Each structure stands twice: as C-alpha cells, then as structure tokens.
Amino acid sequence: MDEISNKTLAILLIAAIVISLGGTLISLNRLARIKVPMITGFYGAAEEAIVQLEITSLVQVNFTTDTIDWVSGYVTGGYGFCVLNSYDSSIGANCTGFTPVTTGLVLENVGNKNVTLNITMQKNAATFITGSSPVCKWNVSNKEAGSCPGIALTPGAWQTCATTAVVVCNSTGNGFLATDTTDTLKFDVLVQIPSDAAPGAKTNVMTASAAQI
C-alpha cells in the first residue's frame, strides 16, 4: 500500500479541524436557544416599615346653642304671673313684650369618650326671678336619637332649677355618647314670673359637668 503523502495528511487535518469547529458552533447555537428556568429568590425583595400614632382621650362637652333670651317684658297688669317656655316656644297670655324662644340650649359631646353628665344651675328660682311665687325649671331630651341611652331622667320631665347637681346621663347604656350621629342633647327652660318680681336684668347659668366612663 502506498504511503499517504504529507500533503494529503495536511488536507485531512484541516478538514477535521473545520468539521470540529462547525460542530462546536452548532452546539453553542442550540444551547443559546434553550431557556433556563429562573431560580426564585434571586430576583425581587420585600421590606416592611411601620406607621404609627396614638390618639389620646378627650372628655369635653360644649353648648353649641348657649343662650335662651326672651328679651324684655312684664306681667300684664291685673294678672298674678306669666309663663315663658322654650320647650313649646310659648309666651303666656299674661305676658307682655317678651319674645318667643324657638329653640332650647343644645349640648354636644365634642370629645371622643362616652361620659356621665350632671347639670347644675347657678341660681334657684327665688334668687333668679325673685317675687312671691317664682318658678324656674328645665328639661332634657335627645336632640339626636339615642344620644343618652343611660338617661337618668324621664325625657321632657321638668327639673327644678337647683344649685345641687342633677344626674342626666349615668353609666347605664354607656352614658352620653361620643359618636358623631348620636352625641347631642337639648335642654329647655320654663320660668314663671310673678307680678311682684323685682325689675331688672335676670341671668342664670346652666353648667354641664362630664366625666369619663
């Protein structure tokens, strides 16, 4: 057998190298097309932060309507007394000159706590009106329904003006509520003026005292 010449060997070697490189390039191209699944945990992260505050308790009631004023007048001559009443906006037939009051005093729980509620008057009828048979009374009712589930008084029942405290809302039923839609009471006043009451400006003060339940 004839020996393979050096030229032939060189050609065969070059051909082998070309084939080898071609196969390598084809393999690399195929590998590039294969999608390797992403390993979770390597991408994305979560971090937490805190937002905080503290709401403090506020016990506060406020008369949003704080004046009943019948202005001025007198007992009609020949009569023993006249009656003024904010509850039904009436002016007695025996009264002359006084102006009807169409609304009572309005008290709102403007705090954020349910409270008990007491009412005191600065003066009783004798000190406030004077005369031989003066009368001063007040009553309470829910202006917003359910404002005082623990009401200690019959709604609309008249209470004598006194310098000692009268319990209006106790802790039963959570007292005088702080919820915005159920936090308002109405207080009306009735006075009877005797014909011999001393003339002059007459002033009395109602004080509402609240305590957290």
Task: Label residue 1 by pLDDT band (50, 70, 90).
Answer: very low
Q: Determine the 3-state secondary structure of 15 from DSSP.
A: helix
pLDDT exceeds 90 at position 33:
no
52 assigned to some structural domain: no
User: Which pLDDT value is given to residue 18?
Assistant: 73
Structure confidence at residue 196 (pLDDT): 98
Q: CA-CA distance, 183 to 93, in Å (whole number)?
A: 36
Rounded Cα gap, residues 142 and 151, in angstroms? 9
Q: Is residue 53 part of a domain?
A: no
Q: Where residue 15 falls among pLDDT bands split at 50, 70, 90?
A: confident
**8-12, 107-111, 145-149, 176-180: least confidently modelled range:** 8-12
Residues 31 and 75 reside in one and the same domain: no
**What is the spatial distance between Cα 206 and Cα 123, in angstroms, rounded to a whole number?**
9
Q: In what helix (H) or strand (E) does residue 211 lie, and over which residues does it extend?
A: strand 206-212
51 within some domain: no
Q: Which two tokens stand for residue 113?
A: 């706590």
When pLDDT is cut at 50, 70 and 90, the band that residue 39 belongs to is low
Closest CA to 89 of 190, 201, 205, 185: 190
* DSSP class of 120: E
Domain range for 137: 61-212
pLDDT at 146: 95
* Better-predicted residue by pLDDT, 177 or 9: 177
Residue 164: phi, psi to the nearest 5?
-95, 150
DSSP secondary structure letter of residue 152? -
3-class SS shares of the chain: helix, strand, coil, % to 5: 15, 30, 55
Taking only the tens place, the pLDDT of each residue in 126-185 is 999 999 999 999 999 999 999 999 888 887 899 999 999 999 999 988 999 999 999 999
Indicate if 1 and 71 belong to the same structural domain.
no
Least confident of 23-37, 78-92, 188-202: 23-37
Residues 13 and 51: their CA atoms lie apart, in Å, by 75
Write the CB contacts of 181 (distance below 8 Å, at least 6 apart in sequence): 144
How high is the pLDDT of residue 58? 97
* Domains identified in the chain, total number: 2
Contact 132, 196 (CB under 8 A): yes
**Which strands make up the sheet holding 206-212, listed edge to edge?**
166-169, 115-121, 206-212
| 94 and 139 fall within a common domain | yes
pLDDT in tens, 60-92: 999 999 999 999 999 999 999 999 999 999 999
Same-domain status, 21 and 83: no
Q: Is residue 94, in this structure, part of any structural domain at all?
A: yes
State whether 12 and 94 are in the same domain.
no
In a domain, 95, yes or no: yes
Same domain, 163 and 203: yes
pLDDT of residue 40: 55
With 90 as the cut, is the pLDDT of residue 34 above it?
A: no
Of residues 1 and 79, more confidently modeled: 79
Does residue 71 lie in a domain region? Answer: yes
Q: What angle do CA 175, 153, 209 make, to 5 degrees?
A: 50
Tokens coding 155: 């709604």
